[in-house]
Structure 1
């Protein structure tokens, strides 16, 4: 059964002085089966493209409920809950630069997703700010990935697998 992969890509861009990153979504049976999707999603230079971190996600426990992630060629009903990725930014007074954290939430719309992301953020990070959270770009609906619609169904699922590692594409 295919899984949702959330992947932190790193690489170079012609107009950037340092390595840049992006989070992309893919569907596959294992990480290597997503490589072509990841390469197609990258906006920068193809040479040096790599994975810095990845999550294999078959479901999510959220607000006391367990949801399986399933894929279909049919769009979900409009009233169904959706999966969102919230990009959270904050600072550590001992480090230079902005730090980022990512949280998955389940909500009926982007406004509710942002509120849930902020609530998570408020309890999990000191001296935080939400990086452009008022803009839709920072609240990413994970609803169509690799040509498949994402459906959330009540039920059990395999635990998330994730890894921070450098994998050259």
Structure 2
């Protein structure tokens, strides 16, 4: 999971989007990240990333699509949005949730500290909807990867360490030189 940033042509402030890919290293993801968001060109950079291997009490593994065991649970990406009174900003909280369906994923998202500490949800004229975005992570993968791989989600039996968050500005052009 990669938080990409850029100041694309015709924009005044930095924009962000989330990218999901499959690779052994962050460098392996660079071509797909460029294909995903080509407009910024050399201005595209990484603000943070995480190799997703565990979400709460589930392990997340990549397997060949034809070897995947169908499970009832899916991995969801939620982008919660909220405001603080008197602050000229929309805040976002990005979250991964394992759930049986989208309704369960939304309920889980509403239990976050982020959600409970904001004065009102960001509803963007979608009255009654209280999160900006929700997707199954598999649906967010590049088509060539979706065709080849699947996510295998299993209950954690052993103690798995938490995923490490890599935070900080990293230009894609520097990664390409490695």
Q: TM class, shorter-chain normalised?
A: 0.7 to 0.9
Q: CA offset at residue 141 of structure 1? A: 0.7
Partner residue of 1:159 out of 140, 148, 162: 162
Q: Structure 2 matches for 1:106-117, cutoff 5 A?
A: 106-117=98-109
TM-score normalised to structure 1 length: 0.79
Asked whether 1:53 is paired with 2:53, we answer no
**Separation of aligned partners in 2, 1:130 and 1:121:** 15
Residue of structure 1 in register with 2:138 after alignment = 143
| Counterparts of residues 80-91 of structure 1 (less than 5 Å) | 80-91=72-83
Written as runs of structure 1 = structure 2, the 5 A alignment for 1:109-128 is 109-120=101-112, 124-128=116-120
In 2, Cα distance between equivalents of 1:92 and 1:112: 26
Question: Aligned runs of 1:74-85 on 2, under 5 Å?
Answer: 74=66, 76-77=69-70, 80-85=72-77
The separation in 2 between residues aligned to 1:91 and 1:123, in whole angstroms, is: 10
Q: TM-score, normalised by structure 2?
A: 0.76
Q: Distance in 2 between matches of 1:131 and 1:18?
A: 22
Q: How many residues end up aligned between the 2 structures?
A: 159
Q: Tell me, which stretches of 5 or more residues in structure 1 are unaligned?
A: 1-5
Write out the 4+ residue segments of structure 1 that deviate beyond 4 Å after TM superposition.
121-124, 130-133
Q: Distance in 2 between matches of 1:128 and 1:137?
A: 13
1:30 corresponds in structure 2 to 25
Q: Which has the higher helix share?
A: 2
Moved more, 35-44 or 16-25: 35-44
Deviation at 1:43, TM superposition (A): 4.9
In terms of fraction of residues, the more strand-rich structure is 1
Aligned equivalents of 2:168 and 2:2: distance in 1?
A: 11
Q: Residues of 2 paired with 1:137 and 1:129: CA distance?
A: 9
Distance in 2, Cα, partners of 1:119 & 1:135: 12
Contact 2:82–2:115 (Cα < 8 Å) also in 1? no
Work out the CA distance in 2 between the residues paired with 1:122 and 1:164. 19
Give me the CA root mean square deviation. 2.6
Equivalent residue number for residue 69 of structure 1:
60
